[in-house]
Chain A
Amino acid sequence: MASLSIDAPGAAIRRDERGLHVALPAGIALDEPVTIDLDLDDPHLDTRVFVTAGAGARGAIVERLHGGAAGRDVALTVSVELGANADVSYTALERTAAGARVDAQRTSTAGTGARMLWNVALLGGAASTAGIVSTLAAPGSSTEISGLFFPIARDVVQLTTEARHDVPHTTSQTVVRSIAGGHGRGRYYGNIRIAAHAHGSDASLRDDTLLIGKHAKIDAIPALEIAANDVKAFHGATVGAIDDEHIFYLMSRGIEREAAEKLIALGFFEPALARFPGEALRDELRALLEEKLAGARR
């Protein structure tokens, strides 16, 4: 059986032929995150995860996706349904083994006044494709999507995010940071869709990319599909190498070039990383990114 650590009294967890079900009852406030451990080497791996949050429920879910011998090829789906005024964060930390191929599609639907926070870190695997579609289905709902990825060696990573404003008075904020090193390849599709009648929607999308080395490449492809009038939509993006003036500034303080590059590169992820829940998890991510950076230089 897939291992499942449930340190979250109050969350109802069960498994059936459809997959793994996590239910946060109405009105509950979880103190600790529910951890979903998905090991690609487990023959009984749950590849479908269903999360439901009742009205007013608050809680955090942390999915850890790891393992996977060379050639392992897995498709995973996650869906999250939020009742009125529910407040849920779902964090996916992918650090699968070097040879694994993963396609993970994660979706959410937010009810009236509900807030959905998506955090995804793609830090493993030969090929990783991840999609997040966060649908704002009722007035007053909001979503924040934070993503980071870091292909190195010959990794290929593709992330798609979509904030769907189906109704009026909904808010979305998407922040994605990525670095590619070595011969790493990345592609980011950042989508905002505002439906024809979804007036008063407020959407922002920010994606920034840093390339380390001549052979690394990341394409960022934004798509803003806005059918309503009277909306606010923002998109900003940058792609570039580390700024020489930044390096010089740090070096002028006695910091060696390599250490200066490390500070800048790890700092680059912070605007997205800072939105992940819990200092322990953020520190874990920083350590993983530092490992990646060391790998990017080899």
Chain B
Amino acid sequence: MSKRGLVISGLQAAVDGKEILKGIDLAVEPGKVHALMGPNGSGKSTLAFAMSGHPNYAVSAGTVTLDGTELLELSADKRARAGLFLSFQYPAAIPGVSVANFIRTARMAVRPDDLTPSKFRAMIYEKLDVLGMDPAFLSRYVNDGFSGGEKKRLEMLQLAILAPKYAVLDETDSGLDVDALQAVGRSIEALRATPEGADTGFLIITHYPRILRHVPADVVHIMMDGRIVKTGGPDLAERVESEGYDGIREEVIGGVA
């Protein structure tokens, strides 16, 4: 069996000594889109941060492998260079560092020496255009004074430029208006249409099915209280919308009893 995929096995993790993840098993295959849905506080963002190597998240058991590479032993930068990307729900503002400088530095870290400066410039302009972003964006400081929508667009610009093997999008759709959501959807689909991004596997963390209308999911997982309680096809997301999480919660509790 191939080792390819972002494979999470038996992952347990705690924040400030409180156990949040209670054994997560989930595998995202190359080129596939998985949605991870669940109510507030179910541990979705904790999963994203634990995978990415945030120092405040202590993994107590389990493994995460990326195409066979064990990620949990690596620092956050090495995980990114292995091919993992996390789109932050609340990305940090870094005054004094321009978007252009940041993205160029990141691209060179993740994909060293693969683009001439002129090709890089052409690439970044193309991606900006897909996202409906003004090139003046490039000279602004990273997330400094950005609106919520601008921050999410910048996350998507980074995703498009870095073209990771696997991307975890932590509530990229939250707080976006219709236009911004469409731009995000367009950008992701544009990436998937390129040779670099055709094999990118996605784990889209969201409360709402609406982003999945722009980026259709192959598999939908429902997370509650630190566990994946149900996995299904795209119809599962529609069920969440019509029934809320209560129906699924009752079904799961009923199934256990």
Q: Does A298 contact B (CB under 8 A)?
A: no
| Alpha-carbon separation in the docked complex, A251 to B85 (Å) | 11
- Do residues A251 and B76 form an inter-chain contact, with CB atoms below 8 A? yes
Q: Does B80 contact A (CB under 8 A)?
A: yes
Given A253-B80, A259-B105, A269–B96 Cβ distance below 8 Å? yes
Interface residues of B in 34-56 (CB under 8 A from A): 52-55
| Alpha-carbon separation in the docked complex, A23 to B162 (Å) | 54
- Do residues B94 and A251 form an inter-chain contact, with CB atoms below 8 A? no
| Alpha-carbon separation in the docked complex, A267 to B79 (Å) | 25
- Do residues A267 and B95 form an inter-chain contact, with CB atoms below 8 A? yes
Contacts of A250 in B (CB 8 A): 94, 102, 106
Contacts of B106 in A (CB 8 A): 250, 253-255
Instruction: Quote the shortest CB–CB distance from A21 to chain B (angstroms).
Output: 38
Interface residues of B in 87-136 (CB under 8 A from A): 88, 91-92, 94-97, 101-102, 105-106, 109-110
Closest to A272 in B: B96
Q: Which of A191-199, A221-229, A240-248 faces chain B?
A: A240-248
- Do residues B96 and A270 form an inter-chain contact, with CB atoms below 8 A? yes
- Do residues A267 and B141 form an inter-chain contact, with CB atoms below 8 A? yes
Contacts of B54 in A (CB 8 A): 248
Instruction: Quote the shortest CB–CB distance from B198 to chain A (angstroms).
Output: 21
- Do residues B95 and A251 form an inter-chain contact, with CB atoms below 8 A? no
Q: Does A297 contact B (CB under 8 A)?
A: no
| Alpha-carbon separation in the docked complex, A263 to B105 (Å) | 9
Contacts of B86 in A (CB 8 A): 252
Closest to B82 in A: A254
Instruction: Quote the shortest CB–CB distance from A94 to chain B (angstroms).
Output: 22
Contacts of A249 in B (CB 8 A): 88, 91-92, 94
Chain A contact residues: helix, strand, loop or mixed: helix
- Do residues A263 and B97 form an inter-chain contact, with CB atoms below 8 A? yes
- Do residues A267 and B94 form an inter-chain contact, with CB atoms below 8 A? yes
| Alpha-carbon separation in the docked complex, A267 to B101 (Å) | 10
Instruction: Quote the shortest CB–CB distance from B74 to chain A (angstroms).
Output: 11
- Do residues B92 and A246 form an inter-chain contact, with CB atoms below 8 A? yes
| Alpha-carbon separation in the docked complex, A244 to B97 (Å) | 16
Q: Does B251 contact A (CB under 8 A)?
A: no
| Alpha-carbon separation in the docked complex, A255 to B103 (Å) | 10
Q: Does A41 contact B (CB under 8 A)?
A: no
Interface residues of B in 68-89 (CB under 8 A from A): 75-77, 79-81, 85-86, 88
Q: Does B158 contact A (CB under 8 A)?
A: yes
- Do residues A264 and B76 form an inter-chain contact, with CB atoms below 8 A? no
- Do residues B77 and A256 form an inter-chain contact, with CB atoms below 8 A? yes
Contacts of B92 in A (CB 8 A): 243, 245-246, 248-249
- Do residues B75 and A257 form an inter-chain contact, with CB atoms below 8 A? yes
Contacts of B91 in A (CB 8 A): 249
| Alpha-carbon separation in the docked complex, A250 to B142 (Å) | 10
Instruction: Quote the shortest CB–CB distance from A56 to chain B (angstroms).
Output: 33
Select one of B76, B95, B96 contacting A248, CB under 8 A: B76
Contacts of A254 in B (CB 8 A): 77, 80-81, 106, 109-110, 162
Contacts of A248 in B (CB 8 A): 53-55, 76, 92
Interface residues of A in 260-278 (CB under 8 A from B): 260, 263-264, 266-271
| Alpha-carbon separation in the docked complex, A249 to B92 (Å) | 7
Contacts of B76 in A (CB 8 A): 248, 251-252
Closest to A253 in B: B106
Contacts of B105 in A (CB 8 A): 253, 255, 259, 263
Closest to A266 in B: B96
| Alpha-carbon separation in the docked complex, A13 to B25 (Å) | 77
Contacts of B79 in A (CB 8 A): 252
| Alpha-carbon separation in the docked complex, A191 to B63 (Å) | 57
Instruction: Quote the shortest CB–CB distance from A139 to chain B (angstroms).
Output: 33
**Residue of B79, B102, B162 contacting most chain A CB atoms (<10 Å):** B102
Contacts of A252 in B (CB 8 A): 52-53, 76-77, 79-80, 85-86, 88
Closest to A245 in B: B92
- Do residues B81 and A263 form an inter-chain contact, with CB atoms below 8 A? no
| Alpha-carbon separation in the docked complex, A268 to B142 (Å) | 12
> What are 15 A-B residue pairs whose CB atoms fall within 8 Å in the complex?
A248-B54, A248-B92, A251-B75, A251-B77, A252-B76, A253-B77, A253-B109, A254-B106, A254-B110, A255-B105, A257-B75, A264-B94, A268-B95, A270-B97, A270-B141
Q: Which residues of A contact B (CB under 8 A)?
A: 243-246, 248-257, 259-260, 263-264, 266-271
Closest 9 CB pairs of A and B: A267-B96, A270-B96, A254-B80, A254-B109, A253-B106, A267-B97, A254-B110, A251-B76, A249-B92
Q: A248-B92, A252-B52, A270-B95 are in contact. List 14 more A-B contacts (CB 8 A).
A: A249-B91, A251-B53, A252-B76, A252-B86, A253-B106, A253-B109, A254-B81, A254-B109, A255-B77, A255-B109, A256-B77, A263-B94, A267-B95, A270-B141
